[in-house]
Structure 1
Amino acid sequence: MEEPTSERKSRYTYRHLNQLLKYSVDTPLRVIAHIDLDAFYAQCEMKRLGVDENTPLAVQQWQSLIAVNYPAREFNVSRHSTAVDALKACPQLKLVHVATWRAGDEHWDYRENPDIVTCKACLDPYRNESKKIISIFRAACPRVEKASIDESFLDLSVMVHERFLKWFPVLALPPPYNDPSENLPLPPKGLEVKWAGSHLPELAEDCGGQLDWDDVGMGIAAEIVEEVRGSVRKDLGYTCSAGIAQNKLLAKLGSGYKKPNQQTVVRVRAAQRFLNSFKFTKLRNLGGKLGERISEEFGTEELSALLDTPLQKLQLKLDDDIATWVYNVIRGIDRSEVNPRTLIKSMLSAKSFRPHITTTDAASKWLTIFISDICSRMEEEGVLEGKRRPKTMTLSYRSSSGAGKGRSVPIREVTKTALTAVAQNLLRGVVDDARAWPCAMLSLAVSGFEEREAGNVGIRGFLVSGDAAKDRTAPKPESSNAVEREPKRRRMGEDIGRFFTREPAAYDETPSREDLLSEDAAVDPETGDAFDNPPSSPPSATAATGDGRMFLCDRCKTSLPFEDQEEHQDWHFAKDLAQEDRAEAMRRIAPPAPSSPSSQKPKKGSGSGGGKKGSGPEKGQRKLSRK
């Protein structure tokens, strides 16, 4: 390939080039891709059933739609529709209910008319397909972050750097005077970037037409992403859309710009003009009270108009952190890293009962489902392979009167049989509590996940000899696809991820952020609303609730159908009880705090005498008093 020209210099430096190798968020040559499966749940069902791609199809969970394919959208069917309304709009619509667990069964199945009283929704078929797709992403790119069940971020920086040096050997030479702040030579004259059929939003009007290394890098990334999308289509039969940009914020916007089965490159010089096409009230956490407040304070909803507002003026009207976050987001600034999927700390399976259950036998049948559900997810996490293991199991309940409590015990053996035995023992303790019946909600959680060190074995590993002992104690080679430990929580200003309001998400009785669909994430064709499922949000920001059929959880900021409100609140309630129970257990085993010099020395042989009877409500009552 032709060598770069040396007459004029690039605006980028050798330091910027080398920072690509470190996945640095500081280099302006950084290249991020966001790949989003098109109507993922619907595609999974079309593949399973062998349905023609032109057949209108929607995935149903009870009376709500959680996925609608593109042929059905031509009839104005959306995820806001009920199953009844969807059939009226499109009589030939094929409705497929999600798989369900049924009380007493150990395996999920597809049922034609599942009963919400005796069944629980199951997303395992989609998780299984998602795992296959992620494997293709990770085989193609060394740094992949699974953002949800149907979308991932890929940091292509290192791959772009490798092709830079391969195609332009002069870039591999030391910088002049060994000074990394020296500017790179420009790309060769006449170089034509192949955009791999990508859509290209228009460049800013005042930018020059000179090609630079950011354009070349984006073109390389476009070819890589086209190959990855082609692999998903060829190997698994699914279509996906993609966005390629300098950061996660813009890449996510790009993936929803043109759908389905297309990709968009948001070049550096096109980024602000691209963002200006959105009203800031359509951005995540700016569509609710915060967006309304800003709109009232500054008299506009136009993102381009808000750009003229200096940071100091924003800080006069908003908290400093919020003002800084808004100032950065509307300028397309996002320093959040692409991290391998963070390891989960707990798994919970729950069910609200309508009507309430009144017998131990009924509760025991649901425990069988909970264990099967959790074991299925633990298999995906590598728990059953010995990579990770939970330390604690918690059973929580809420009675019809509103009284609730959680009980926790340590987990000693991680097998389905052993976990079932532990859960049934916990249930026997609940049976003895008269407040539990009739039971309105029951949940089971495993928590305290820890990674097993390489070569670490249980006591049985010491009871073998010879070659068997060597095999069991030998450390396993590290996998190139190994996930990293969960990173520390980043400061708000460093992780500007949650920037779009979202549509109703696919909601199971055991909500998991990874199972929430990001489907068609930038702008929904029916409503024009923008939404997303990114990793963080500014403090105190509130998302828009959409139409009157949705409610917004004030704790996790998830927008869900009103019929799921009680069940979703039960889920929070169960997690709170489990957390409180663990905290209480830690207090019981914690060593006493040292006495201060002024404290009275206790008499020998006396009891602790430190507690004050009647000083406050019991643990479970404290929780109920806050409801």
Structure 2
Amino acid sequence: MSKYRWRDLIDLNDKEKSFLSPLACIAHIDVNAFFAQVEQVRCGFSRDDPVVAVQWTSILAVSYAARKYNVSRMESILDAIKKCDKIIPIHTAVFRKGEDYWQYHDGCGSWVEDESKKLSPTNYKVALEPYRRESRKLIKLFQDEYDLVEKASVDEAFIELGRKLFYELLMDDSYTDFADIRGIFQDGRYDLNDHLPSLPTKLSIQFSGEVFNSQNRPLFEDWDDVLMCLASNSTNTIRNQIDDMLGYTTSCGISMTKNLSKLASNYKKPNAQTIVKNNCIDDFLDCGKFEINSFWTLGGIRGKELIDLMELPKEHSIKFIRDSWPVSSDDIRKFMLKKIICRDIQRSREYNINEADVAKISAKIYQLVRGQFRLPVEPRPLPKSMMSKKNLRNDDCASVIDCIEWLEIFCSELNYRVHDLEQEYEKVIMPRTIVIMIKGKAGMKYTQTRRITTASSSITSRELFINATKLINEIDKQHGKLAGVYPLRELSLTLSNFDIIDKGKTVLDMFGNRAISKSSSTDNNVVKIEGEDIHSDSKGGPYDASVSETLEGEPPSASSPPTMAENLTCKQCGETLQDKKLFQEHVDYHLSVQLSEQINGVSENSTMLTHAERILLFGKKAKKNAASVQKPKKKDGGIMKFFKK
């Protein structure tokens, strides 16, 4: 009889409960030396070629072939070449100052003797788009196979295998070892609190990868071992697909929690798979390769502080914690509180771990050292903002003209990233706020924010650039002549306040879920936009006035009839009408044009553009103003004729 119950198995089929089941299986898959592999595949080198990816003079990623020569990440490329003249340096793709597209300059870099081929941060900005593109392909492969994938970074992901394993164990005909348990399940001859049946006496399934088993325990003792075996076969299949389709090797770890699976994927590299069974968890944690600060989120300064606070030994700290506080996390909490009180009396420096954190962190540590700290695998939430930034040197940005040239790069880069998110989440994503920050040579910072206005249903780099140009001109006008501003030391552009719209929504949904309605008769049946205005800034972009501003010339109510013709003058085009009905149709026409341009894009003939905006969009030969644009004819048949065109 199994020690596990039917409830534990059934919970695997529930996304909300699966990670809490003692039968949980979570995988962590990490691409080995990702940036270097991307460049190796792109340039057609083999895995035996010592390729390194370079940014300016520093190495970003080192292939495993290059690591044989003791080349390390963030090492100078010139120092690496001294170690091994066989090193193959490949510079990342870059944006050139003043250009809105990225490209590779193969054969160029700081290590090349020809001065004309040296790439410098003075005129270029690193482009990470090629790596984001490959990352998106990777995640798509995972999502096509599994229903719960969490992108941990550009080159790694957590995968929760519950539903996949539930199906394979109880329904997949390609596995023939599980007839007894399938019969019980399919006939419904079980209670959730019943124990699962014993394992079959003979099992033909085999693990894919290396099972960590330092004590030589039996490979199959209970159903958790069976599920781990099925999981290893599944992840090995997807890793082979990644190799075949993308050309990348990966490392994989499989265990019952996210933290353990991440440690397992790092246990043996490259191109390896490590399985940590439930009955081998303590052995794995005590193997000598990990310490308490090896756990995800406990590295760096926080981890060092924790070691000092708990007075942990430099080696075997995980086992030390388990042995020193065997009963409950409350014992850890009391010990840490006592140490914090003594520490705070001395007040020698600032600390990351404070009294308010103790209860939470002590419970976490108690569970971590036993391999029981549970976290759900969750699809990555959409970011609340995204930034493109450039640290500037010397006279890289000595005027507003230089700022505009860098901003053209920023807008293009952020536009790529927005559309990457749209493909990843299958949503329409519209940023609504744009922020520019400058840091002057004397250290002062200035920011300016504005509402983004767009001329279509999806953002474009050109539209971002129009908004960014207006912002930087405002900053320069206010602060540019102050001493200590130019040349800048930092320039950044941030997008935020995203409207997230499901694909396939109606035209009106694509406006940020605004609803168009007729107001009551007391409001003269004037068409208004409920909720947020299409334009929130009277001088904010291609559409200067909000709809309400466009209709400021609407006629007064019937109780106070117009006494002057100018009350029926359209502020959009200046035309005066004598009849209230004609005026309303005229206003409706402008609104329909505005809606069309929001969806289909703005044209040179738009009545909504200022002369400056028309030049930005269409060049110096653009028509001077809206007066040169054909106005709606009085006998246009009303608003319906517009939609029939």
Instruction: Give the TM-score, by structure 1 length.
Output: 0.68
**8 Å contact kept, 1:300–1:306:** no
Q: Measure, in 2, the Cα distance between the counterparts of 1:419 and 1:291.
A: 43
Is the alpha carbon distance of 1:226 and 1:45 closer, same or farther for their aligned partners in structure 2, counting shifts above 3 Å?
same
Query: 1:21 pairs with 13, 30, 35, which one?
Result: 13
Corresponding residue for residue 438 of structure 1: 487
Query: 2:269 pairs with 259, 278, 300, which one?
Result: 259
Query: 1:420 pairs with 460, 465, 471, which one?
Result: 465
**8 Å contact kept, 1:203–1:269:** no
Q: Measure, in 1, the Cα distance between the counterparts of 2:401 and 2:195.
A: 74
Corresponding residue for residue 576 of structure 2: none
Larger CA deviation: 378-387 vs 320-329:
378-387
**8 Å contact kept, 1:280–1:291:** no
Q: Secondary structure at the match of 2:54?
A: strand
Q: Measure, in 1, the Cα distance between the counterparts of 2:332 and 2:42.
A: 52
Corresponding residue for residue 47 of structure 1: 41
Query: 1:314 pairs with 325, 332, 344, which one?
Result: 332
The AA in structure 2 aligned to 1:315 is R
1:392-451 C-alpha deviation (Å, 9 max, x unpaired): 111111111222121111123122222211111111101102344332211111111121
Is the alpha carbon distance of 1:177 and 1:261 closer, same or farther for their aligned partners in structure 2, counting shifts above 3 Å?
closer
Corresponding residue for residue 100 of structure 1: 94
Larger CA deviation: 325-334 vs 423-432:
325-334
**8 Å contact kept, 2:212–2:284:** yes
Aligned pairs for 1:330-349 (under 5 A) are 330-349=369-388
**8 Å contact kept, 2:52–2:66:** yes
Shift of 1:201: 0.9
1:127-147 C-alpha deviation (Å, 9 max, x unpaired): 111111111111111211111
Corresponding residue for residue 189 of structure 1: 201
Corresponding residue for residue 201 of structure 1: 212
Is the alpha carbon distance of 1:177 and 1:242 closer, same or farther for their aligned partners in structure 2, counting shifts above 3 Å?
closer
The AA in structure 1 aligned to 2:141 is I
Query: 1:401 pairs with 430, 438, 442, which one?
Result: 442
**8 Å contact kept, 1:144–1:338:** yes
**8 Å contact kept, 1:134–1:146:** yes
**8 Å contact kept, 2:501–2:509:** no
**8 Å contact kept, 2:6–2:190:** no
Is the alpha carbon distance of 1:386 and 1:233 closer, same or farther for their aligned partners in structure 2, counting shifts above 3 Å?
closer
Query: 2:168 pairs with 163, 170, 173, which one?
Result: 163
The AA in structure 2 aligned to 1:145 is E
The AA in structure 2 aligned to 1:202 is N
User: Percent of aligned pairs with the same residue?
Assistant: 31
Query: 1:218 pairs with 211, 225, 228, which one?
Result: 228
Is the alpha carbon distance of 1:77 and 1:50 closer, same or farther for their aligned partners in structure 2, counting shifts above 3 Å?
same
Q: Measure, in 2, the Cα distance between the counterparts of 1:313 and 1:335.
A: 20
Is the alpha carbon distance of 1:378 and 1:459 closer, same or farther for their aligned partners in structure 2, counting shifts above 3 Å?
same
Structure possessing the higher radius of gyration over alpha carbons: 2
Unaligned 5+ runs, structure 1: 1-8, 463-627
**8 Å contact kept, 1:101–1:120:** yes
Q: Secondary structure at the match of 1:306?
A: helix
The AA in structure 2 aligned to 1:444 is L
Query: 1:249 pairs with 259, 272, 282, which one?
Result: 259
1:326-374 C-alpha deviation (Å, 9 max, x unpaired): 2121111221111122211211111121114221211110111001101
Is the alpha carbon distance of 1:176 and 1:322 closer, same or farther for their aligned partners in structure 2, counting shifts above 3 Å?
same
Shift of 1:457: 4.2
Q: Measure, in 1, the Cα distance between the counterparts of 2:219 and 2:269.
A: 28
**8 Å contact kept, 1:124–1:376:** yes
Q: Measure, in 1, the Cα distance between the counterparts of 2:27 and 2:204.
A: 21
Shift of 1:295: 4.9
Residue 72 (str. 1) matches residue 69 (str. 2)? no
**8 Å contact kept, 1:354–1:440:** yes
Corresponding residue for residue 550 of structure 2: none
Q: Measure, in 2, the Cα distance between the counterparts of 1:44 and 1:399.
A: 37
Corresponding residue for residue 4 of structure 1: none
Q: Measure, in 1, the Cα distance between the counterparts of 2:281 and 2:67.
A: 29
Corresponding residue for residue 528 of structure 2: none
Shift of 1:289: 5.6
Query: 2:292 pairs with 277, 280, 286, which one?
Result: 280
Shift of 1:16: 0.3
Does 1 or 2 have the higher relative contact order (CA < 8 Å, sep 6+)? 1
Q: Measure, in 1, the Cα distance between the counterparts of 2:487 and 2:42.
A: 40
Corresponding residue for residue 12 of structure 1: 4
Q: Measure, in 1, the Cα distance between the counterparts of 2:448 and 2:436.
A: 5
Corresponding residue for residue 398 of structure 2: 358
Corresponding residue for residue 157 of structure 2: 152
Corresponding residue for residue 525 of structure 1: none
Q: Measure, in 2, the Cα distance between the counterparts of 1:392 and 1:296.
A: 43
Q: Measure, in 1, the Cα distance between the counterparts of 2:272 and 2:306.
A: 36
Instruction: Give the TM-score, by structure 2 length.
Output: 0.66
Q: Measure, in 2, the Cα distance between the counterparts of 1:458 and 1:412.
A: 17
Q: Measure, in 1, the Cα distance between the counterparts of 2:361 and 2:510.
A: 54
Q: Secondary structure at the match of 1:418?
A: helix
Q: Secondary structure at the match of 2:392?
A: strand
The AA in structure 2 aligned to 1:431 is D
Q: Measure, in 1, the Cα distance between the counterparts of 2:462 and 2:293.
A: 51
Is the alpha carbon distance of 1:21 and 1:122 closer, same or farther for their aligned partners in structure 2, counting shifts above 3 Å?
same
Residue 133 (str. 1) matches residue 138 (str. 2)? yes
RMSD after superposition: 2.4
Corresponding residue for residue 452 of structure 1: 501
Shift of 1:192: 4.1
1:450-483 C-alpha deviation (Å, 9 max, x unpaired): 2114554446999xxxxxxxxxxxxxxxxxxxxx
1:245-272 C-alpha deviation (Å, 9 max, x unpaired): 1111111111111211111111111111
**8 Å contact kept, 1:307–1:331:** yes
Q: Measure, in 2, the Cα distance between the counterparts of 1:225 and 1:241.
A: 10
Corresponding residue for residue 487 of structure 1: none
Residue 305 (str. 1) matches residue 346 (str. 2)? no
